[in-house]
Structure 1
Amino acid sequence: MTHSTSRRQMLSQGAALVGAASTGLLLPQSVLAQSGKIRVGFMLPYTGTYAQLGVAIENGVRMAINEQGGKLGGREIEWFKVDDESEPSKGIENANKLVQRDKVDVIIGTVHSGVQMGIHKVARDSGVLSLIPNAGVHAATRALCAPNVFRTSFSNSQPTMALGEAMVKRGHKKAVWITHKYAAGDEAFEGFRDSYTKAGGTIVKELGLPFPNVEFQALLTEIAALKPDAVACFFAGGAAAKFMKDFAAAGLKGKIALYGSGFLTEGVIEAAGPAAEGVMTTLHYADGLDTKRNKDFRLAYAKTFKMQPDVYAVQGYDTGLLLIQGANAVKGDLSQKPALYKAMEGAVIDSPRGKWTMSKAHNPVQDMYLREVVKGENKVLGIAAKALADSGAGCRL
């Protein structure tokens, strides 16, 4: 056997084993990068309180990518999953499973802001591409922003930044604020305080209770005595449903207007029942958004997953759209980081929520809708804030 023949055989064997470690010395990095599968890791809650949210996000991501033939930049995908259990103390350990054990090219997660900070540390330390499909913790796109971290959802203060002017326009110039006392509640208050006072409103009192306490009676009695024009709040999930029911039971419904970040009524209108009627919120999405893009998305999602999509499914879908734009720009070679990041920074996402762009700090610049619960649905009254951006304070990219 001649040297040239053996070399040809060796190369042909190597080509047949593309992606295997044994071919690393034989093929250029660009060929390797485009031949193997892109490794995508989900770190989401699959058990516990937020399990439904995790499933909706994953469904949305997969749907977006399946619409593109199931590939990223022409490359097939290998999927990995870790249940983050919404447990902040396991955040770093779980993220490291995906990065160190599974060698993922990208992490998609998560819902809980506390867990997100664990992912964020691993992302900053390792340089792995990190896409945040929900958690609104400010630090991720403010003081601790990073070139490889992109959020497709919201910052915790964005929905409430749209509340202030809408409330004052409706004559509600004196308000009480109430929330659970934890990071998300504090950050949501920042958005409300800044927008409401700027619009000429006065915050009569800030009220809070420890998370996840839902004993609202004493605070509702205090609100009744204060007689504000309106109450603004940040609650989500079961606590939101109970707050609306207790607010009505205390005789405040119809006397004091109730407003909140959109998560007050997201996914809990049925649980709250008649108490939710008339409650007004601001959020970057509404089921009843009357656009062809949203209607087509909702129909396709319902057909595929046999359930109705919510804001979490939309955020997952948009995460998939952002990843597709980035991967297509580098023809599937995610190792071309400057070009990948540039494409994602310049992306215009044609979303069911409406088109949105990425801020310099890697957080969505997006419309916020004013919504009112009418006959069990979040009805869109209009745009409360156009192309609203988070401040990105402290971000240096």
Structure 2
Amino acid sequence: MKRKGWLVTITVLLFMGVMAGNAAALEEIRIGTIGPITGWATIFGQGVLNGVKLALDEYNNEFNGVPIKVFSEDTKADVEVMRTKLDSLKNRDKVHLIIGPSLGHEGMAAVDWGARNPEVPILIGYSAPEDITMRKATESVIRPGWTGAQVIFNFGQYCAKELGYKKIIMVGQDYSYPWDQAAGFIRGFLENGGEKVERIWHPVEAVDFSSIMAKLMGMSKEYDAVLNNSGGAQVVAFFKQWKQFGLDKVYPQILGQANVPIVSMLSELGDSALGVYSSLHYYDGNPSEANQKFRESFNKKYGHYPDVIAVQGYDAVHVAFKAMKAIDGQVDDPKKFIAALRQVKMSADESPRGPFYFDKYANPVQNIYIKKVVKEDGRLMNIAVKTYENVSQFGPYADMADKYMAAPATTRDYPPGDKEAYFKEIEKYFGKDYVEKLNKNNGWVD
């Protein structure tokens, strides 16, 4: 009996020692955030950070009694600055998790950094180039967001089939994220009855669109509508000059890429945004309880309503907490933490956007909403006019993801915007049967 008692005592002491060791190792959980907090892209970095802080408030800034400390870094929208800040978060601050970055070129650089530093899990903030979770996918980089093409495949389809457009001009900022938006739209548009998408690129920070407006005026008899493929201050400048040059009189519709009619833009655009169609994995007018709670809590904390950018920071924290719960808070075991992050599933009750889960490349499969800007009770907002459920980052190509990734990566000029050239191109990668099926069905079969 004495021997048995000693064994029990030793076992208890060993267990207490292990627990004490874990507690000592986790005096705090350190989370790094990274994105543009100053400069032209402030809206995208600060928005994610605001969402992160709101979600942490809901957990009282702790996990199972362990305080959470946040280290925030400003990239200034500069990739070289971002790389230095990522190194600092890892080596100086010894963070257990990084949330961010926000911009397309930042995300592409971050996934390269992640491949070299696989012991630091990254939850991508708002950055949307598809190759972050496709051709360059790496185990430690998880994106609880979206790809530029994913959220706009079906918008191209909608514009061709529902709005009846045949030829569209797309005017956008010349960098990786708008390229992806253009590519996704072109695929959906041309494969569903559209004939041509003409791309006009401009420098990222351009605000003088007079030469482009003159060009659009000259093209108005050949094209049905114009899609603005920009974000931030460039959207405001484009819409203002659109009206100044009288283009609202010659084109029946101005369409928007994902970032054009987000909440933070609507207050700047005013009634000029009314009727604008776009698409995204979130819409501010969603009546769900989760979204209404999120919106009211955000407004109470910050004095204004949130948009999809804040959703990304907010959801990233909730994904992290679900993963931490699954592994009893063992964030100091990066392999275990990363595996848990990739297995998270969010229900419609848990996310303002609706339900989502991660595919094998760690990008969400989620609902995509075709949105329209309306005014309700004196406030501009987006409503959903159509919902496409469970859309993967491969969109209609989910069953042939390998073929999709075997095709060239998106560039400013790829894929082709002319239907004939485009169909010749997709036949190389998707096969003649796929093209014949498109022709037979007059596009995708929902």
The two structures have a TM-score, normalised by structure 1, of: 0.86
Residue 144 of structure 1 is matched in structure 2 by 136
Structure 2 counterpart of 1:194: 187
Determine the C-alpha separation between the residues in 1 that align with 2:306 and 2:202.
Answer: 31
- Are 1:158 and 2:155 matched, yes or no? no
Equivalences for residues 209-228 of structure 1 within 5 A = 209-226=202-219, 227=221, 228=223
**Residues 1:99 and 2:90 are matched in the alignment:** yes
Alpha-carbon distance in 2 for matches of 1:118, 1:207: 25
Greater mean deviation of Cα atoms: 359-368 or 210-219: 210-219
Q: Secondary structure at the match of 2:198?
A: strand
C-alpha contact (below 8 Å) 2:121/2:338 kept by paired residues: no
Aligned equivalents of 1:291 and 1:42: distance in 2? 28
Q: How far apart, in 2, do the equivalents of 1:279 and 1:217 lie? A: 22
Q: Do the aligned partners of 1:330 and 1:336 also contact (CA within 8 Å) in 2?
A: no
- Counterpart selection for 2:289 from 280, 289, 292: 292
Query: How far has the Cα of 1:150 moved from its partner?
Result: 0.8
Q: 1:87 aligns with which of 56, 59, 78?
A: 78
Q: Which of the numbers 275, 281, 303 marks the counterpart of 1:278?
A: 275
In the aligned structure 1, how far is the partner of 2:271 from the partner of 2:53? 35
Q: Deviations over 1:260-299 (max 9, x none)?
A: 2121122222322332222211122222212222111111
* Aligned partner (choices 34, 38, 55) of residue 64 of structure 1: 55
Query: Given the superposition, is the C-alpha separation of residues 204 and 306 from structure 1 closer, same or farther in structure 2, using an over 3 Å criterion?
Result: closer
Residue 385 of structure 1, CA deviation: 2.7
Gaps of 5+ in 1: 1-11, 16-25
Change (3 A) 1:381 1:63: closer
What's 2:252 paired with?
256
Summarize the Cα distance change of 1:382–1:343 in structure 2 as closer, same or farther, 3 Å threshold.
farther
Alignment-mate amino acid for residue 362 of structure 1: A
Q: Deviations over 1:174-223 (max 9, x none)?
A: 21222122222211111111111111111152222232223323333333
Match of 1:352 in 2: 352
Q: Deviation of residue 309 (structure 1)? A: 1.5
Say whether the 8 Å CA contact 1:73–1:324 is kept in structure 2: no
Match for residue 386 of structure 1?
A: 389
The yes-or-no answer on 1:365 pairing with 2:327 is no
132-141 vs 319-328, greater mean Cα deviation: 132-141
**Partner of 2:341: helix, strand, or coil?**
helix
**Equivalent residue number for residue 182 of structure 1:** 175
SS of 1:318 mapped into structure 2: helix
Q: TM-score, normalised by structure 2?
A: 0.77
What amino acid is the match of 1:197? L
One-letter amino acid of the structure 2 residue matched with residue 373 of structure 1: V
Which residue type is aligned with residue 121 of structure 2?
L
Q: Residue type matched to 2:364 in 1? A: P
Deviations 1:12-50 (A, max 9, x none): 9xx9xxxxxxxxxx8589725764321111122222233
Aligned match for 1:330, one of 308, 327, 339: 327
1:63 aligned counterpart, secondary structure: helix
Kept in 2, the 8 Å contact 1:44–1:82? The answer is yes
Cα deviation, residue 338, structure 1: 4.6
CA distance 1:110–1:81, shift in 2 (3 Å): same
Kept in 2: contact 1:73–1:327 (CA 8 A): no
Residues 43, 232 of structure 2: 8 Å contact kept: no
Percent same amino acid among aligned pairs? 25
Q: In 1, distance between residues paired with 2:240 and 2:198?
A: 22
1:294-321 superposed Cα distances (whole Å, 9 cap, x missing partner): 1111112222333321211111110011
Q: Is the 8 A contact 1:285 1:368 kept in 2?
A: yes
Residues of 1 paired with 2:44 and 2:191: CA distance?
Answer: 34
Structure 1 residues 54 and 205: alpha-carbon distance in aligned structure 2, compared to 1, 3 A threshold: closer
Q: Does 1:130 align with 2:122?
A: yes
Paired position in structure 1 for 2:431: none
Report the alpha carbon displacement of residue 134 of structure 1 after superposing the two structures with TM: 0.5
Structure 1 residues 52 and 207: alpha-carbon distance in aligned structure 2, compared to 1, 3 A threshold: closer
Structure 2 counterparts to residues 4-15 of structure 1, below 5 A: none
2:311 to 314, 320, 324: 314
Match of 1:50 in 2: 41
- For 2:253 and 2:53, the matched residues in 1 are separated by 40
Inter-partner Cα distance in structure 1 for 2:127 and 2:301: 25
Gaps of 5+ in 2: 1-12, 395-400, 407-446
Q: Closer, same or farther in 2 for the Cα pair 1:139/1:72, shift >3 Å?
A: farther
Partner of residue 229, structure 1: 224
Residue in 2 aligned with 1:4?
Answer: none
- The count of corresponding residues between Structure 1 and Structure 2 is 373
Q: Which moved more, 1:211-220 or 1:325-334?
A: 211-220
Instruction: Work out which of the residue numbers 237, 242, 246 in structure 1 matches 2:237.
Output: 242
Q: Which residue of 1 aligns with 2:166?
A: 173
Give the conservation status (yes or no) of the 8 Å contact 1:34–1:333.
Answer: no
Instruction: Call closer, same or farther: CA 1:317–1:199 in 2, change over 3 Å.
Output: same
Partners of 1:192 and 1:120 in 2: how far apart? 25
